[in-house]
Amino acid sequence: MYHYGIIGFPLLHSFSARYFNEKFTREHIDAEYSLYSVKELTKERMDELANTLDGFNVTLPHKQAVIPYLDRLDDTAKAIGAVNVVYKRVGYNTDCLGFMDSVKPLLRTYDRHALVLGTGGASKAVVYGLRQLGITPTLVSRTPREEIIGYADLTEEIMQRNTVIVNCTPLGMLPDIDTCPDIPYQWITARHLLYDCVYNPELTLFLQKGKEQGATIHNGMEMLTGQAKAAWKIWNDEME
């Protein structure tokens, strides 16, 4: 039997566990996928996981913390600076593939600038993906610094120019469904696309507020499905 899993903290729920275990059952694959709640990632814990699992996913808060414990990164993960898939002590990033495949059909000809909310591992993959698609991203954070603006800096002009807004924070995710990024929703229009990397609940408060303003909205389920499919190809040496 093959053993796969996901590491992160907290792991209150996991799309990956459901997705892969259902796949294994449906396709009669002799494998299991388990949750590994890891609050602090150490070399010893990493060695244990690498020796036990045939491959694993990485989620918050370890997408960057895992890097020093890997033998190398593939070119995409190296460019992004974050890892969400590990195979044979090599780090990969399939988040960007899932995001790009999901968002590309939604883009309009005038979408040239995007706001990316959050600065963690997910945002790094989204920024990379947007640039690959010819869109200029601007990072937004609660702690603004060089080349990163704060939520209080979001003027009407900035909101109008950035017709794509991507939430890469966990705000709005179960169980905290009454939270959302603190952006000026009153300046969102029908020209905007709001994309939430959160998938549970299906309609986050962020997306709900955008919908009320007439914006196009999309959650992160397709992104998750896409990155999972790419992860499976990596674990089976099927990537081109």
Residues with catalytic roles: 63
Placement of tokens 């918050």 in the chain: 60
Placement of tokens 């460019």 in the chain: 79
Residue 148 DSSP code: E
For residue 32, what are the β-bridge partners?
A: 3
Placement of tokens 């937004």 in the chain: 140
Q: Cβ(206)–Cβ(217) under 8 Å?
A: no
Structure tokens at 212: 């009320």
Residue 42 contacts by C-beta under 8 Å, 6 or more apart in sequence? Answer: none
Round to whole Å and give the CA distance between 223 and 130: 13
Round to whole Å and give the CA distance between 153 and 42: 38
Walk across the sheet containing 85-87 and list its strands. 31-37, 2-8, 55-58, 85-87, 90-92, 72-73
